[in-house]
Chains A and B, each alone.
Chain A
């Protein structure tokens, strides 16, 4: 069973942008909206030096970390290109115009 948390609507997140959300004592989560309105959620830390991915430039299905320009795939959390590393992903769903993310501790292993 998964706990789904309602975090708001699509309009709360700018296209090709991100918002953060805190859930309990967990690490901050970054929720991304791509140019074609897909939603992804990652722990808001670059695998490189823990840069806040939510502040990066979102392009295609990637985000460029604001600290050192590592490109992280939104879907898998994997660093792209030559860089190696992975950020935990969090399950997301859109229903009735609202965005729901899975409660993180339930998904950590899966990620």
Chain B
């Protein structure tokens, strides 16, 4: 069977409508329509959808499906439809020619053609071999009897289901991952199953002895017979399978024998073509074989001496391959693998090396009554292996620690208790656990989806579990990572997780980004205009959308838009921080955290004059005067103004403070004048309204006394210049900054600061701090806008400075002079009339 791409192969440009043109693009022929072959094509299309003409040969009669999900199909939990990765529409949409049920039987490297079993000869420019692996059939008498099958493709599953319909006894040879899944499925389908395993313990490559024993006991509890150390001598039967005889003479009757002892890379095609073949087809870091025009990927390859039989390395290989095919050579560096599986509801996880050895130390936790066993292998303060049984929730975390080679000396005591404890919380907060995972931590093992990819998918608009599954396939297969994906959704979207499209609030069907875009596109000038043109469903919005709209208009129209006081939160309207008793606290600005006797006297006088019950030094190096009544605010401000102080904006979604250390002027370690730079930075940025509060710090040396690496914008002075850091915050979820870049001069540090601030002002959503914003758009994007694009950075800086002209009037002075006195003074009853 063969089908071609879309019925009218029209190019997008439309300049040759209806006329099929000869496709002159390089022809990529893929041998193998399995997970590796198709994933490689997907990765390629993601990078450059137009570069290659693609033809895929498949030996099976199916479209591309998820082979590792055959177990749930066997177990009756899924149908074949459920495990299809790419349906026919995908091939059509990408104009990929799919040739099914016709395996390639030979490669003619001299002519650059492949010849299929049915006699098709097709030329290639690049050939990709993705033939996967073949099941290993142990060479015992009776291995070819009808009723002896392997567990590799849909055909095998159909054969097992057919046998299960007749009931009876089944023998599974092989107590590895595949064999146990086959045994589980057949048990669920009603067969009496015996598992024969030649090694002393089950899954010896993934599990240590203790975990294997727990697994064996549990499977026996579910009705399976597990024989370890069982060496098969013969499969006997007359015309069809009747049973298996072991070398010790034991006979086990069976009408079905599933051979699942292992797989071997499928290399015959490559070997016959004269390619360099070891255990697998030898490839370099870009998955190129000994013939430069031929690539290979997946289970059929041998890279750096390693052959992989798990799915995760395959994703890594496909990325490297696609990078290579699109001239962005990244190179495959080998994979560290982990195994996470669920058999009959039993959670098993293993990763890395747990065989022990010199310098390895085991940390073990056993909870016999709950059937939990955990073992983490540590070597030189790093996690090198982990085996979990019964509770695998922390598997991803251990694997992440292992892959990153993180030093665990500090958390070693708590390591075995899992991420929640080791991170210091104690309470189990699954969201915090997910938040702590790195971006490249794998979330969905079935489909090879990392946390970063899930987040990217959500940022592109997926705001429900279904949308994420459709968008990036995370949790779309076995579903064991559904909880993780839901937590990522919650973390990324906050309260906005929903089934429909994400809207700004219940007053509108538009999202923040849509509203913002329309404000600019339609040149809207006021909140009522926005509400009118965008069909707000409420007369004057709500306390969520009004402050957001006010900010978006303010940002878009500096100097033109008239700020709507009634759309400000109380603190921004009152220019002070409301406290629980309805009084306010007042924080005068102290540039860079510097003060002087005059300011301190004025503050002391205010405290006494207005009987403020408390004065406190803040975390941002300011003084906070508490307990001021709203009626007294203008008078307090007048007094502070008189001493030269202005509003500290401690109350605003705005630039709060620039925190500094003393720097080279005084400190024996200081490398630059951090205090002076802090003052300059604050003079430049004060008064600017932002999507959320914005904090800056300048540290004079890498000792970082000003804590610049947990600020929205942090400058760390070094001998040779200034390191610029962005996107940090303290708070509930502490986030350390990303390094933006390093600059040589103070002026550059100021320029980059202005540009970054403006980018954040223009593109972050209201109430989104820099940390979640950067996690949403990616630090690479920020670097591209601020570091790589000189003209763009200069334009951002100019827009910021232009906007600042209108922002740096002290709001306190205005109020002290009587503007908006109605906000501070009560009405006075005038007369009373009785009726």
Binding site for B on A (CB under 8 A): 1-8, 12-17, 19-23, 28, 31, 35-36, 49-52, 55-60, 64, 66-67, 69, 71, 100, 103
A51 and B540 form a contact (CB under 8 A): no
- Indicate whether B541 reaches chain A with its CB closer than 8 angstroms: yes
Which of B546, B566, B822, B830 gathers the greatest number of chain A CB atoms within 10 Å? B566
Contact at A1–B580, with CB atoms within 8 Å? no
Q: Closest CB-CB distance, A60 to chain B, in whole Å? A: 6
Question: Would A55 and B543 be within 8 Å (CB), given that A4-B835, A8-B830 are in contact?
Answer: no
Can you list 9 A-B contacts (CB < 8 A)? Answer: A5-B832, A6-B829, A6-B831, A6-B832, A20-B826, A51-B582, A52-B582, A58-B566, A66-B578
Cα A59 to Cα B832 in complex, Å, equals 30
Residues of B within 8 A of A69 (CB): 543
**Contact (A57, B832) CB under 8 Å given A12-B822, A52-B582, A64-B543:** no
Contact A14 B566 (CB under 8 A): yes
Which residues of the other chain, B, contact A50 by a CB distance below 8 angstroms?
582
Query: Given contacts A6-B829, A69-B543, could you give 5 more A-B pairs where the C-beta distance is less than 8 Å?
Result: A12-B822, A17-B566, A49-B580, A59-B541, A59-B542
**Are A3 and B582 in contact (CB-based, < 8 A)?**
no
The answer to whether B363 has its CB under 8 Å from any CB of chain A is no
Shortest Cβ distance from B507 into A: residue: A59
Residues of B within 8 A of A20 (CB): 826-827
Given A14-B565, A16-B566, decide whether A7 and B541 contact each other with a Cβ distance below 8 A. no
What is the chain B residue whose CB lies nearest that of A11?
A: B822
Cα A100 to Cα B834 with chains together (Å): 11
Cα distance A13–B826 in the bound complex, in angstroms:
10
Q: How far apart sit A78 and B586, CA to CA, in the bound complex (Å)? A: 32
Check: B574 CB closer than 8 A to any chain A CB.
yes
A11, B497: Cα distance in complex, Å: 42
Closest 8 A/B residue pairs (Cβ) = A64-B543, A66-B570, A16-B566, A57-B543, A55-B570, A35-B540, A21-B827, A20-B826
Give the CA-CA distance A46 to B318 in the complex, in Å.
60
Most interface-central of B547, B568, B582, B828 (chain A CB within 10 A): B582
User: Knowing A12-B822, A31-B827 touch, does A1 contact B543 (C-beta < 8 A)?
Assistant: no
B539 within 8 A of partner (CB) = yes
- Please provide the chain B residues from 561 to 599 with a CB less than 8 Å away from any CB of chain A in the complex: 565-571, 573-574, 578, 580, 582
Given A6-B829, A6-B831, A35-B539, A57:B547 Cβ within 8 A? yes
In the complex, are the beta carbons of B543 and A6 less than 8 A apart?
no
Contact A55 B835 (CB under 8 A): no
Q: Within 8 Å CB of B826, what residues of A? A: 19-22, 28
Note all chain A residues with C-beta closer than 8 A to B832.
3-6, 103
Q: Does B833 contact A (CB under 8 A)?
A: yes
- CB-contacts of B802-835 with A (<8 A): 822, 826-835
CB of B13 closer than 8 Å to a CB of A:
no
Hey, which chain B residues are within 8 Å of A59, CB to CB? 538, 540-543, 546
Candidate in A1, A31, A58 with the most chain B CB atoms within 10 angstroms:
A58
Q: Is there an interface contact between B831 and A1, defined as CB atoms closer than 8 Å?
A: no
CB distance from B52 to the nearest CB of A (A): 55
Q: How far is the CA of A22 from the CA of B827 in the complex (A)?
A: 8
With most chain A CB atoms within 10 A of its CB, the pick from B569, B826, B827, B835 is B827
| Known contacts A8-B827, A21-B827, A35-B539; is-contact A15 B566 (Cβ 8 Å) | yes
Residues of chain A within 8 A of B835, CB atoms compared: 1-2, 4
Q: Which residues of B contact A8 (CB under 8 A)?
A: 827-828, 830
CA separation between A21 and B829, bound complex, in Å? 7
Looking at the complex, which one of B574, B822, B830 makes contact with A6 (CB distance below 8 Å)? B830
- In the bound complex, how far is the Cα of B826 from the Cα of A18, in angstroms? 10
User: Total contacts A to B, CB within 8 angstroms?
Assistant: 101
Residues of B within 8 A of A (CB): 538-543, 546-547, 565-571, 573-574, 578, 580, 582, 630, 822, 826-835
How close is B569's CB to chain A, nearest CB, in angstroms?
A: 7
Task: Compute how far the CA of A111 lies from the CA of B444 in the bound complex, rounded to whole angstroms.
Answer: 58
Residue pair B541, A55 in contact (C-beta under 8 Å): no
Partner pick for A7 among B543, B569, B630, B827, CB 8 A cutoff? B827
Chain B residues near A57 (CB-CB < 8 A):
542-543, 546-547, 566-569
Flag if B539 contacts A36 (CB, 8 Å).
yes
A67 to B630, CA, bound (A): 15
B834 touching A5, Cβ below 8 Å:
no
A7 touches B829 (CB 8 A): yes
On chain A, the residues within 8 Å of B541 by CB distance are 59
In the complex, are the beta carbons of B546 and A5 less than 8 A apart?
Answer: no
Chain A residues whose CB sits within 8 angstroms of the CB of B542 once the complex forms: 57, 59-60, 64
With the chains together, A1 CA to B828 CA distance in Å? 23
Q: In the complex, A35 Cα to B573 Cα: how many Å?
A: 18
A47 to chain B, nearest CB (A): 15
A8 vs chain B, min Cβ distance (A): 5
A22–B822 alpha-carbon span in the complex (Å): 14
A72 CB to closest chain B CB, in angstroms? 11
Q: Which single member of B566, B568, B580 contacts A67 (CB below 8 Å)?
A: B580
Q: A67 vs B581: C-alpha distance in the bound complex, in angstroms?
A: 10
Residues of A within 8 A of B573 (CB): 55
Q: Is the CB of A3 within 8 A of B833?
A: yes
| B540 contacts A16, C-beta separation under 8 Å | yes
B569, B578, B829, B834, most chain A CB atoms within 10 A: B829
CB distance from B743 to the nearest CB of A (A): 41
Kindly report which residue of chain B lies nearest to residue A24, judged by CB atoms: B829
A60 and B540 contact, CB distance less than 8 A: yes
Q: How far is the CA of A55 from the CA of B574 in the complex (A)?
A: 9
Q: Which A residues touch B828, using CB under 8 A?
A: 7-8, 21
Q: Is the CB of A14 within 8 A of B822?
A: yes
Given contacts A4-B832, A6-B833, contact A55 B827 (CB under 8 A): no
Once the chains are docked, how many angstroms separate the CA of A13 from the CA of B829? 14
Asked if B566 and A19 sit within 8 Å, CB to CB, the answer is no
The verdict on A19 contacting B822 (CB below 8 Å), with A57-B569, A67-B578 known, is yes
CB distance from A36 to the nearest CB of B (A): 7
B539: A residues at CB distance < 8 A = 35-36, 60
In the complex, how many angstroms separate the beta carbon of B821 from the nearest chain A beta carbon? 11
Question: Nearest chain A CB to B830's CB is how many angstroms away?
Answer: 4
Structural contact, B834 and A3, CB atoms closer than 8 A:
yes
Contact residues in B for A58 (Cβ distance below 8 Å): 566
Residues of B within 8 A of A22 (CB): 826
Q: How many whole Å from B332's CB to the nearest CB in chain A? A: 52
**Contact yes or no, B830 A7, CB < 8 A:** yes
User: Smallest distance from the beta carbon of B178 to chain A beta carbons, Å?
Assistant: 51
Contacts of A1 in B (CB 8 A): 834-835
Q: Shortest distance in angstroms between B50's beta carbon and chain A's nearest beta carbon?
A: 50
- CB B652 to nearest CB in A, in angstroms, measures 14
A71 to chain B, nearest CB (A): 7
Q: How far is the CA of A4 from the CA of B831 in the complex (A)?
A: 8
Closest Cβ of chain B to A57, distance in Å, is: 4
CA distance A15 to B540 in the complex (A): 11
Contacts of B580 in A (CB 8 A): 49, 67
Tell whether A19 pairs with B567 under 8 Å between CB atoms, given A57-B546, A71-B543: no
Complex Cα distance, B822 from A70, in Å, reads 24
Asked if A56 contacts B540 (CB within 8 A), the reply is no
A100 CB contacts on chain B under 8 angstroms: 833
